[in-house]
Amino acid sequence: MSETPTFRNPADSEANRALEREAQLPLTGWQQEVSQGLEYGLEAADSIRDRTIPTFSRGELPHYAGINTFLKAPYIEDVRKVGEYDVAIVGVPHDSGTTYRPGTRFGPQGIRRISALYTPYNFEMGIDLREQITLCDVGDVFTIPANNEKSFDQISKGIAHIFSSGAFPIILGGDHSIGFPTVRGVCRHLGDKKVGIIHFDRHVDTQETDLDERMHTCPWFHATNMKNAPAKNLVQLGIGGWQVPRQGVKVCRERATNILTVTDITEMGLDAAADFALERALDGTDCVYISFDIDCIDAGFVPGTGWPEPGGLLPREALYLLGKIIRSAPVCGLEVVEVSPPYDVSDMTSLMATRVICDAMAHLVQSGQLPRTGTPDYIHPEANMDVGSGWQ
């Protein structure tokens, strides 16, 4: 018979540490939200005993009410003011690069809608985003239906604007074809600096074309053509299954990119996999861009996606990898793509995307990357419009 396991002292548990950390968090942001709600939404009816409640819903509560921005963050209609915030959420409702099931144009709507379920506070990490960073939602890029190239131009211009402002860009996709124009937007303001790409996915997405166009199977072929995003710094986590075109595999081999399958990750361990990703992505680069395709997670957890593939990462594995990578690297942006609400069940895929984004922001706070005290050194103020413009 095996020995009875010895449990650690409850005082040293993660839960107890979380209880202590919460006591150290301020309430300034909440108090400001309450005051603004009462000013803009009128004081409540006389029968309401809780006098922090306004007549018209403003702010976090009730979770089922209000106009959906991401986490009910302020909507910044004047995008020229985006640099006044630490983080900017931007939607890219584009699915003209989809080669099978469309619907990711509704991804930003779906993610924003279910994000209302969340509070800005995470128990285990002891992070309250409302108290520790400023967050805004700039709405959506105006994409052009059925025209990938014009949409790509719009996306690159929008991301370049946010990135150069100093706000940390978080992009709600959209299909994965947007990975090229988002990275192009970043690269336009890198000057001579370089970016490594860490790509969570079940698919390599490295074909030059698919169905004669640059589709959602193609972003990393074109992104790694740019001098600011070398192929040797592309790391792909979770690749595998029956949906990896051989044309893309050939490109990975020829360009010596870095791939770990789910089996690789589980056999080597999550810490070793994260260390591998960091070593390769940071080799000679100045920052890291994270592209998180929701289908890297096993299809049983994320049915609302265009190319579901069983055998992916478990949610806890994906979130752990993401957290260690963000805490250990200068991250310049994050996109979450391939959420397709028409195929979702109970908003679970959109909720997973929301969790990825909220965890990412928390890890950026934990690692001292947010709030920003100044513009990161890798952001060049002048745009290089020639970046990524060579493809016909």
pLDDT in tens, 63-106: 999 899 999 999 999 999 999 999 999 999 999 999 999 999 99
Omega before 241 within 30 of 0, i.e. cis: no
**pLDDT score recorded for residue 2:** 45
Question: Helices 270-281 and 315-328 meet at what angle, rounded to 10?
Answer: 40
Look at residue 391 in the predicted model and tell me its pLDDT: 66
Strand, helix or coil for residue 101? coil
pLDDT for the residue 1: 42
Identify residue 354 by its one-letter amino acid code. Answer: T
Tell me if residue 42 falls in helix, strand or coil: coil
Pick from 291, 187, 310, 195: which is nearest to 237 by CA? 291
Residue 191's nearest CA partner among 383, 376, 329 is 383
User: Under a CB-based contact definition with an 8 Å cutoff, are residues 361 and 129 in contact?
Assistant: yes
Each residue's pLDDT, cut to its tens digit, for the chain (392 residues) gives 445 555 567 778 999 999 999 999 999 999 999 999 999 999 999 999 999 999 999 989 899 998 999 999 999 999 999 999 999 999 999 999 999 999 999 999 999 999 999 999 999 999 999 999 999 999 999 999 999 999 999 999 999 999 999 999 999 999 999 999 999 999 999 999 999 999 999 999 999 987 888 989 889 999 999 999 999 999 999 999 998 999 989 999 999 999 999 999 999 999 999 999 999 999 999 999 999 999 999 999 999 999 999 999 999 999 999 999 999 999 999 999 999 999 999 999 999 999 999 999 999 999 999 999 999 999 999 999 888 876 66
CB atoms within 10 A of CB 186: 30
pLDDT per residue over 275-305, tens digit each? 999 999 999 999 999 999 999 999 999 999 9
Q: Distance from CA of residue 349 to its chain's centroid?
A: 14
CA–CA distance from 252 to each of 257, 259, 278 (Å)? 5, 8, 18
Phi-psi region of 368 (alpha: psi -120 to 50; beta: other; left: phi over 0): left
As beta bridge partners, residue 336 has 172, 292
Distance (Å, whole) CA 46 – CA 43: 9
Q: Give pLDDT, residue 213.
A: 87
* Whole-number Å distance between alpha carbons of 340 and 89: 18
Beta carbons of 337 and 304 less than 8 angstroms apart: no
The predicted structure's pLDDT at residue 10 = 74
Place of tokens 């053509």: 225
Q: Check the CA dihedral 208-231-238-116 and report its sign.
A: negative
Distance CA 350, CA 344 (A): 8
